[in-house]
Amino acid sequence: MHSSLINTYKRLPVSFSHGEGVWLVDDTGRRYLDALSGIAVCGLGHAHPQVTRAICEQAGRLLHTSNLYTIPLQEELGARLLEVSAMQGAFLCNSGAEANEAMIKLARLHGHRKGIDEARIIVMQGAFHGRTLATLSATGNAKVHQGFEPLVPDFIRVPYADAEAVARLAADDERVSAVMVEPVLGEGGVIIPDPGYLAALREICDRHGLLLMLDEVQTGLGRTGRWFAHQHAALLPDVMSLAKALGNGVPIGACLVAGQAVDLFTPGSHGTTFGGNPLACSAALAVLDCLQREDLPTQAQIRGSQLIDGLRRGLAGLNCVREVRGLGLMLAVEMDHPCSELVSRALEQGLLINVTADRVVRLLPPLIISEAEVETLTARLCSLIRDWNAGAFE
């Protein structure tokens, strides 16, 4: 069928009419268990009543005024974000890429403040930071770069989870002003570094006066079993980006700052028309309320353990499975060969999953998933992978 849309996505042949909790319903009435949450966005599941109510009430009052005026809901949201993160300042925007753009601009400002004309940022192989020109340049994936060269310069790439490589570069290159890193690689295949990795990066940044900039766009807001993934390591970054789950589907992002990054932006140095408008802030405030009231980060930890244990039991002995790993409700089943066909096979069986990095089944179910729903998800996925292993789809 000819589409009116530019062909940027290979879309699956299904469209959904509505959702409820972890379930999505297609236009024929068929129900699907959503183990992807719109790529880590709908942490509270679909059609969450409190988010719906907040958006509807706000839409009837005021959608947008612009950042030329004071927006009380924005002040309130900023304060709530600082309270849960222990950061010191918030800039509100519309997406993950935009939050990361702010982060990259902060690294440049920090460099200039230190007298570095052409500041460099250390980034990671396999990282994903977005699709704008600067964020795709920071991304460690050649496919994302292809066709868009020349890239934004002065990102230097090192292997992920290798703190030694960062230490060497930071010591050797006086132009480095920041380290930009995901606490767990998301698009890169749900790679979970050793527990000491982020702490080692914090120490290197402190030693050399660099900004530690964490991209928590995918890992933030309860996904990994803590409010923010870096809290597993008990440290504070200088800059942190958030988006995805912040609005449960209403587009909103945030760039939070602390320490040496607090006063880098000044009036006129950064901006956005829509960022932090009353509608988006009302959604995000409702999301934070629910996360807090229902202690969803802890729920993610509990349901994540249940899911990983169930998958390990259900997939035991299958030689196509390299590893089942996860942190909270950010999980991966890594295969020994490419497995992208599993996505459409799962869809046929009423299950929404994602495959990333060619051979990693990525699971990001809503944080509100129940014990019984985790059992359903485990059973459906294990049976699918067992059939795939037995060659049932050839």
Positions annotated as catalytic residues are: 128, 215, 244
Nearest distance from C-beta of residue 146 to ligand PLP, angstroms: 18
Query: Around 341, how many Cα atoms within 13 Å sit in the side-chain half-sphere?
Result: 11
8 A C-beta contact, residue 324 and residue 312: yes
Q: Is the dihedral of CA 279, 285, 287, 293 positive or negative?
A: negative
8 A C-beta contact, residue 360 and residue 332: yes
Closest to 215 in 3D by CA, of 194, 250, 249, 188? 188
Binding-site size for ligand PLP (CB under 6 A) equals 15
Closest to 107 in 3D by CA, of 238, 290, 10, 207? 238
User: Nearest residue by C-beta to ligand PLP?
Assistant: 96
Q: What's the start-to-end Cα distance of the chain, in Å? A: 27
Closest to ligand PLP by CB, 144 or 170: 144
Q: How far are the Cα atoms of 29, 32, 297 from residue 233, in angstroms, in the given order? A: 44, 36, 15
Residue 45 binding ligand PLP, by CB under 6 A: no
Nearest distance from C-beta of residue 186 to ligand PLP, angstroms: 4
Residue 192 binding ligand PLP, by CB under 6 A: no
How far apart, in whole angstroms, are the C-alpha atoms of residue 56 and residue 3?
31
Residue 129 binding ligand PLP, by CB under 6 A: yes
Q: Which of 43, 45, 186, 222 forms a contact with ligand PLP (CB under 6 A)?
A: 186
8 A C-beta contact, residue 47 and residue 363: no
Q: Which of 215, 238, 334, 373 forms a contact with ligand PLP (CB under 6 A)?
A: 215
Nearest distance from C-beta of residue 230 to ligand PLP, angstroms: 13
Residue 95 binding ligand PLP, by CB under 6 A: yes
Closest to ligand PLP by CB, 85 or 378: 85
Residue 102 binding ligand PLP, by CB under 6 A: no
Residue 230 binding ligand PLP, by CB under 6 A: no
Closest to 22 in 3D by CA, of 273, 366, 290, 280? 366
Tokens of 223: 């996904």
Angle between helices 278-293 and 72-85 (to 10 degrees): 30
Q: Is 330 helix (H, G, I), strand (E, B) or coil?
A: strand
When computed from its CA atoms, the radius of gyration of the chain, rounded to whole angstroms, is 21
Closest to ligand PLP by CB, 123 or 286: 123
Nearest distance from C-beta of residue 241 to ligand PLP, angstroms: 7
Closest to ligand PLP by CB, 119 or 254: 254
Closest to ligand PLP by CB, 96 or 297: 96
Residue 96 binding ligand PLP, by CB under 6 A: yes
Q: Kindly provide the residue ranges of all beta strands, DSSP E only, lying in 143-203, ordered along the sequence.
A: 155-158, 176-181
Q: Which of 33, 44, 73, 97 forms a contact with ligand PLP (CB under 6 A)?
A: 97
Closest to ligand PLP by CB, 95 or 277: 95
> Given the rule CB under 6 A, which of 85-93, 160-168, 206-214, 215-223 is the region that contacts ligand PLP?
215-223
Q: Which of 74, 177, 218, 248 forms a contact with ligand PLP (CB under 6 A)?
A: 218
8 A C-beta contact, residue 228 and residue 219: yes
Q: Interface with ligand PLP by CB under 6 A: which residues?
A: 39, 95-97, 100, 128-130, 182, 186-187, 215, 217-218, 243
